[in-house]
């Protein structure tokens, strides 16, 4: 455990996107963190508040180009908020300089470089490290996170789905094949790079499924559920774009493979997440609004006509990205896991 007065110096690698700004806002209220650097690919060293005007008067920092040695001279921990591919190019350099790294991209989540190549369309350039990296979902891998130098921070759909499915899969209520995950995400999940499909006038007042059968979070969900349940698991994951900024709901469907009741299923969840501060097993149907801007994941379960229905909701940018990154940071650095994350909003 760090001394209560010690501040850990952190750098934000890739500071222009939505996960970066959320991360910065969380870290600004973290009592043991000092943000000492932020990087962009812009050469003119813009101030962080010119990129994110909401930071005006809150963080006085000019962005810099990514120079691993320069970052390591200032910081102890780096949060990598880079796109995939860019991430696996930079992270080995940051690690070589002695930094601890939390990678918010997908580059170190999959164990198998062939699966990475198949789903991401790029040869993995750091394949030997794959398979050694802990998947940073603290509710499942809490004990393995401390003392790691690199954590693969989970995807937003994956966390939502996995947190919803794991308790029932591990206790034998669900078959490992054919679990239906109907994912529904706010538009911020698609990132801050201008694209036709995420223009306001395209996705407002609209609703559509996308990436059916080929969304990249699919192998990630399969891999983690297989690992945690000890059985090869294969899900049917279908994401939808919802006209709202933030919030993610997975509606999960599977036949009950043994006789049960809603009460029993609810108890499985309460037992499984006993002591997990950020998981709320709720009686009502979760609303994304109730978890927006928080690090909570709200879960409930229903049983109807023999089909188990799990509803799992979180904020895609917080518990689905930057909040869990800070959970991982806390665990890596010896702080209390919830530091800086309670009563976020």
Distances (CA, A) of 194 to 156, 190, 199, 272: 20, 10, 7, 41
Alpha helix ranges (H) inside 63-148: 68-74, 86-96, 113-120, 138-141
Which one of residues 186, 219, 320, 323 is an interface residue with a copy of itself (CB under 8 A)?
A: 186
Question: What's the closest the beta carbon of residue 3 comes to a copy of itself, in angstroms?
Answer: 21
Pairing of strands 134-135, 77-80: unpaired
Residue 7 binds to a copy of itself (criterion: CB under 8 A): no
Residue found under tokens 């037992």 = 271
# binding residues, a copy of itself (CB under 8 A): 77
Q: Which residues contact 304 (CB under 8 A, 6 or more apart)?
A: none
* 166: enclosing H helix or E strand: helix 156-170
Q: How far is the CB of 51 from a copy of itself (least distance, A)?
A: 10
The tokens of 32 are what? 């043991």
Hey, which residues between 60 and 79 contact a copy of itself (CB under 8 A)? none
Please, which residues have CB within 8 angstroms of residue 128's CB and are 6 or more apart in sequence?
none
Site string for a copy of itself, 221-260 (x = CB under 8 A): -------------x-x-x-x-xxxxxx-x-x-x-x-----
Sign of CA dihedral 235, 284, 22, 77: negative
State the pairing for strand pair 248-255/307-314.
antiparallel
Stretch that binds a copy of itself, among 83-91, 114-122, 127-135, 176-184 (CB under 8 A): 176-184
Per the CB < 8 A criterion, the answer to whether 292 and 299 are in contact is no
Q: Is 261 in the site for a copy of itself (CB under 8 A)?
A: no
Of positions 78, 133, 150, 187, contacts a copy of itself by CB under 8 A = 187
List 195, 230, 261, 271, residue binding a copy of itself (CB under 8 A): 195
Could you tell me if 246 and 188 are in contact, meaning their C-beta atoms sit under 8 angstroms apart? yes
> For this structure, is 170 an active site residue?
no
CB of 112 to a copy of itself, least distance (A): 18
Near a copy of itself by CB under 8 A: residue from 2, 29, 65, 271: 29
CA angle 28, 30, 35 (to 5 degrees): 50
Smallest separation, CB 321 to a copy of itself (Å) = 13
Q: Select from 41, 45, 54, 121 the one that contacts a copy of itself (CB under 8 A).
A: 54
Distance of CA 235 to the CA centre of its chain: 19
Binding mask of the shown chain, residues 84 to 123, with x at each position contacting a copy of itself by CB under 8 A: ----------------------------------------
Tokens coding 99: 């930094």
Q: How far is the CB of 192 from a copy of itself (least distance, A)?
A: 7
Site for a copy of itself in 263-322 (CB under 8 A): 280, 282, 284-294, 296, 298, 302, 304-307, 309, 311, 313
If the CB atoms of residues 50 and 125 are measured against a copy of itself, the closer one turns out to be 50
Of residues 1, 200, 259, 275, which one binds a copy of itself by CB under 8 A?
200
The side-by-side arrangement of strands in the sheet containing 100-103 is: 33-39, 8-13, 77-80, 100-103, 150-152, 134-135
Residue 62 DSSP class: B
The minimum distance between CB 334 and a copy of itself, in angstroms, equals 23
Of 156, 250, 297, 333, the catalytic one is 156
CB of 186 to a copy of itself, least distance (A): 8
Which residues form the catalytic set? Answer: 156
């Amino acid at each position: 455990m760090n001394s209560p007065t010690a501040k850990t110096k952190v750098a934000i690698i890739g500071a222009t996107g939505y996960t970066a700004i959320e991360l910065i806002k969380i870290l600004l209220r973290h009592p043991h963190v000092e943000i000492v650097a932020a990087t962009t690919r812009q050469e003119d060293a813009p101030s962080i508040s010119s990129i994110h005007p909401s930071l005006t008067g809150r963080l006085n920092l000019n962005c810099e180009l990514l120079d691993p040695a320069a970052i390591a001279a200032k910081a102890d921990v780096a949060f990598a908020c880079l796109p995939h591919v860019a991430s696996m190019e930079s992270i080995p350099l940051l690690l070589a300089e002695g930094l601890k790294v939390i990678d918010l991209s997908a580059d170190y989540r999959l164990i198998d470089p062939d699966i990475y190549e198949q789903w991401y369309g790029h040869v993995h350039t750091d394949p030997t490290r794959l398979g050694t990296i802990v998947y940073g979902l603290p509710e499942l891998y809490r004990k393995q996170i401390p003392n790691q130098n690199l954590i693969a921070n989970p995807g937003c759909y994956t966390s939502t789905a996995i947190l919803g499915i794991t308790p029932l899969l591990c206790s034998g209520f669900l078959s490992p094949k054919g679990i239906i995950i109907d994912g529904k995400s706010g538009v911020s999940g698609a990132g801050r790079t201008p694209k036709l499909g995420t223009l306001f006038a395209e996705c407002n007042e609209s609703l559509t499924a996308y990436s059916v059968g080929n969304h990249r979070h699919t192998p990630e969900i399969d891999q983690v559920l297989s690992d945690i349940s000890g059985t090869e698991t294969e899900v049917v994951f279908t994401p939808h774009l919802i006209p709202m900024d933030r919030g993610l709901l997975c509606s999960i469907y599977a036949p009950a493979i043994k006789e049960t009741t809603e009460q029993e299923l609810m108890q499985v969840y309460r037992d499984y997440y006993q002591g997990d501060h950020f998981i709320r097993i709720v009686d009502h149907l979760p609303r994304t609004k109730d978890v927006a801007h928080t690090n909570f994941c709200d879960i409930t379960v229903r049983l109807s006509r023999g089909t188990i229905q799990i509803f799992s909701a979180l904020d895609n940018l917080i518990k689905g990205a930057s909040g869990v990154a800070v959970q991982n940071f806390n665990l890596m650095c010896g702080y209390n896991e919830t530091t800086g994350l309670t009563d976020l909003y």
